[in-house]
A = this chain, B = another copy of it.
């Protein structure tokens, strides 16, 4: 398992490079990280690694199924390891809490989409936005309240 990534890389004709190892490890350690965060982490170990290498590598690793990405904010995508077993995400627009949920929870929906819409959903990429029951939908958008016209 630990060498799974080596096998997959080589098996697909890719080369094993220290950059790729560092980047994969960074993703695994960070949990859910944006390309930029991965880059920062990697640079802690090796100054010279370039952002473009991070982007290119994340793409390769995802293609090989070693990592996945999801959109946990309206901004940058976040990558996470696939060794933590498959899950989807709940994101609170208010407190920004991210909850990983077991795929079981959406089996019914999944089935229904398949039968009624001939659609096979991608659980791992799924992110559901909303708000914690106790967070209140009101302050839905962080601290910005632009117009306060009564």
Contact = CB atoms under 8 A, between A and B. Distances in A.
A85 interface: no
Number of copies: 2
B126 A131 contact: no
B122 A93 contact: yes
Interface residues of A, number: 39
Contact of A132 (B74, B119, B146): B119
Nearest to A77: B74
The dominant DSSP class at the A interface is: mixed
Contacts of A116: 105
A63 B140 CA distance: 10
A129 B122 contact: yes
Nearest to A134: B118
Contacts of A74: 71, 77
